[in-house]
Structure 1
Amino acid sequence: MNKVWKRNYSYTFLLPGAIIYFIIFILPTFMSFFFSMTRWSLLDYEFIGFDNFITFFQEPSLTIGFKNTFIYALVTCVLKVVLGLLLGVFLTSKIKSKAYLRSVVFFPTLVSTIAIGTAFSMMMHPTEGLINSALSAIGIAGPDWLGDTRMALLSVAFVDVWKGVGFATVIYIAGIMSIPEEYYEALQIDGGNAFNKFWNIIVPLSRPATNSVITLAFIGGLRSFDLIWAMTKGGPGFTTDVLASVIYKQYQGGFYGLATAGNVILFIFVTLLVYPLTAYLNRKEVDL
């Protein structure tokens, strides 16, 4: 008995965390799969098989929801990676007030998403908004940022980038600062310039940070809902509907089983996109 206890002693420290993880994550996941095949309310449920999935795929706005979800995730991911890397390089260079500038860049990440969405909705008003008022002061007619079907989704995506680029920047700052100084010294001996430093040292050796930013930003974009709902509620029409907003509208209508099936589909959709992406990024990672 003592030998068994000694062999399993270290695993007992994992037990409390494992129990919490099971209750908060594993159990609700399996319950979601079950209730996605039912017609349920808070007090009762009826098993109906895959009818919810069939009905969900017949939603008229589902096609545009899939398309918008992918476009939104791709745009926000690419911009967060590019801007986060550039800001990370700038904020690790020899400039004054780096600590202050870092806090300024990171600050939007701490602000409520709903508050940011509401504020930018007012700022992007076509006639009374601050942005178009500033543009008109220099003789430029501003567009209807959230009312134009061609611009609404991208307008929300740019706000998402403004809010989330600070987090990407922090990851890049940590990645850049972890690069050994020997690489910079060798480049200086070889007569390399600032561009050589950026392209030949920082970009390849900060790949672990890049992989983290790509993965987190892409998952966040695929699951995005709150900012889009706060700014457009999926409009005008269905032009800014994403999968999460389509699901939420089913919850609003009281179709809980249908909405749960939508969440399962979203989970599978995110997994099918992110898993191969993560595997590819890990294969390309450079060891220091």
Structure 2
Amino acid sequence: MRRKTPYPYWFVAPAAIIFTVLFTIPTVTSLYFALTRWDLFSQTFIGFDNFVQFFREPGLTRGLINTVIFAGLTSGLKTVLGLLLAVLLTAGIFAQGFLRAVVFFPVLVSTIGVGLTFTELMHPTDGAINMGLSFFGIDGPGWLTNPDLALISVALVDVWRGVGLATLIYIAGLASISPEYYEAARMDGATRLQQYWRVTVPLVRPATTTVILLSLIGGMRLFDLIWAMTRGGPGFSSDVLASVIYKQYQAGFYGLSTAGNVILFILIGVLVMPLVYWLNRREVDL
């Protein structure tokens, strides 16, 4: 029998070291500091007081709720619009290649640039969107100044920015479906709508799983777009966990903000892991 050699592990070692230094150690360290009141020079162990205070503060819990709403809304819209655009852009329409580039272009633009641009476009009086609506006699709302619309407005901008990636993933998924499935459906008398629901949607499920997970995780971690457009305002109406954490760091509440990071980490795990299991169970084998 051959003697086992450590030679293959040398190929894994660099990645393992980088993962340990950049992820494992900071994660374990943050779990400890979330249980302390600390600054750059001292630390005091206080147990779960930071977590208790986090859930007692209305502004902080509002950020938690907004995170779930924002992630769910953006993930759902990117999934639906991405699939519809992918079907359209694989149907052999005129200027198909150009339209694909147009749809994907926002993904390449800086998030901060997108946020600042739409902040100007959504200005309640001088913004191009409300000026366009006023041309038709419609009074445009305060997209970013109305507490009831601020979070939704940022979510729509995030969908515009990220739907191109979802479309690209779906185009790859549609390309993997054999034409024989559609031929068999047509021979059975299926209409185009029935082909979409009975063939396309089930067989593109692996791409749907990827889009949902990437969009959901990205939505829960999003910070730069919200900070560039609203800074969590007006009030706490568009605050999410990432912006709440940043504000607590700015105010010097380092232990509380670290606890927020831990809560965000747990939230992503609690939502994503069961979703991965459920989506993988429902996938259709080609």
The TM-score bracket by the shorter chain reads over 0.9
Q: What's the counterpart of residue 274 of structure 1?
A: 272
- Give 1:124 deviation, angstroms: 0.4
- Give 1:235 deviation, angstroms: 1.0
Cα distance in structure 2, aligned partners of 1:97 and 1:21: 44
- Give 1:238 deviation, angstroms: 1.1
Q: What's the counterpart of residue 61 of structure 1?
A: 59
- Give 1:286 deviation, angstroms: 0.8
Structure 1 residue runs of 5 or longer lacking an equivalent are: none
**What is the identity, as a one-letter code, of the residue corresponding to 2:267?**
F
Cα distance in structure 1, aligned partners of 2:153 and 2:209: 26
Kept in 1, the 8 Å contact 2:54–2:61? The answer is no
- Pairs aligned (count): 286
Q: What's the counterpart of residue 12 of structure 1?
A: 10
- Give 1:187 deviation, angstroms: 2.1
- Give 1:2 deviation, angstroms: 7.0
Residue among 188, 194, 213 paired with 1:190 = 188
Residue among 137, 143, 146 paired with 1:145 = 143
- Give 1:56 deviation, angstroms: 2.0
The 3-state SS of whatever aligns with 1:3 is: coil
Q: Structure 1 residues 31-40 or 173-182, which shifts more?
A: 31-40
RMSD: 1.6
Q: What's the counterpart of residue 263 of structure 1?
A: 261
Percent identity over the alignment is 59
Q: Deviations over 1:60-108 (max 9, x none)?
A: 2123222211111111111101100000101111123222211111111
Q: What's the counterpart of residue 136 of structure 1?
A: 134
Q: What's the counterpart of residue 70 of structure 1?
A: 68
Cα distance in structure 2, aligned partners of 1:145 and 1:101: 28
Q: What's the counterpart of residue 108 of structure 1?
A: 106
**What is the identity, as a one-letter code, of the residue corresponding to 2:3?**
K
Residue among 230, 244, 247 paired with 1:246 = 244
The 3-state SS of whatever aligns with 1:56 is: helix
**What is the identity, as a one-letter code, of the residue corresponding to 2:25?**
L
**What is the identity, as a one-letter code, of the residue corresponding to 2:166?**
A
**What is the identity, as a one-letter code, of the residue corresponding to 1:161?**
V
Q: What's the counterpart of residue 91 of structure 1?
A: 89
Q: Deviations over 1:36-65 (max 9, x none)?
A: 122333344333332222222222212322
Cα distance in structure 1, aligned partners of 2:191 and 2:52: 59
Residue among 50, 53, 73 paired with 1:52 = 50
Q: What's the counterpart of residue 177 of structure 1?
A: 175
Q: Are 1:41 and 2:36 counterparts?
A: no
Cα distance in structure 2, aligned partners of 1:10 and 1:101: 46
**What is the identity, as a one-letter code, of the residue corresponding to 1:177?**
A
Q: Are 1:120 and 2:109 counterparts?
A: no
- Give 1:181 deviation, angstroms: 1.8
- Give 1:233 deviation, angstroms: 1.1
Q: Structure 1 residues 131-140 or 219-228, which shifts more?
A: 219-228
Kept in 1, the 8 Å contact 2:104–2:165? The answer is yes
Cα distance in structure 2, aligned partners of 1:82 and 1:2: 54
- Give 1:284 deviation, angstroms: 0.8
Structure 2 residue runs of 5 or longer lacking an equivalent are: none
Kept in 1, the 8 Å contact 2:74–2:219? The answer is yes
The 3-state SS of whatever aligns with 1:39 is: strand
Cα distance in structure 1, aligned partners of 2:58 and 2:107: 34
Cα distance in structure 2, aligned partners of 1:23 and 1:99: 43
The 3-state SS of whatever aligns with 2:44 is: strand
The 3-state SS of whatever aligns with 1:46 is: strand
Q: Are 1:160 and 2:155 counterparts?
A: no
Cα distance in structure 2, aligned partners of 1:182 and 1:243: 47
Q: Deviations over 1:220-258 (max 9, x none)?
A: 112222111111111111111112211111011011121
Q: What's the counterpart of residue 209 of structure 1?
A: 207
**What is the identity, as a one-letter code, of the residue corresponding to 1:81?**
T
